[in-house]
Amino acid sequence: MLRANLSIGWNESMTAPIKQVAEMEKDLSKYLFSDASDFIKKLITVMLDEPSTRDMLGKFTMKVNNSLPFLLMNDYRLSLITNSLQRSQLLKKILVSGL
């Protein structure tokens, strides 16, 4: 369902449940990471800079995405806002096709 949001959005009746899930994910990411957004930012930067480790980091990123899907979606949204073309393409590939 979250993957569909990248291209078609979701029904208005799903807004409240999705917001609740996002809040729970935010609490979990606060518990796991000191700064989750910074962690994802650095992870994606390393994936872009080091092609030799891209496979291994891609698998790890997919595990993170399975547990915390809004975290990657938020980074994707930020990459579009800041016109980070390579970053947004890589994140979209991860979110839509699973790398």
Average pLDDT for 4-28: 70
Higher pLDDT, 9 or 81: 81
Q: How many residues are recorded in the chain? A: 99
Neighbours of 70 (CB within 10 A): 19
What is the pLDDT at residue 50? 83
- Locate 15 and state its tokens: 């807004």
Scan for tokens 């994606």, then name that residue: 44
Say if pTM beats, i.e. exceeds, 0.85: no
Question: 2, 72 in Cβ contact below 8 A?
Answer: no
Q: Region 31-52: what's the mean pLDDT? A: 85
Q: What is the largest CA-CA distance in the chain?
A: 44
Closest by CA position to 71, among listed 98, 96, 35: 35
Under 8 Å between Cβ of 73 and 27: no
Whether pLDDT at 5 is above 60: no
- The whole-chain average pLDDT of the chain stands at 79
- 1 pLDDT higher than 50: no
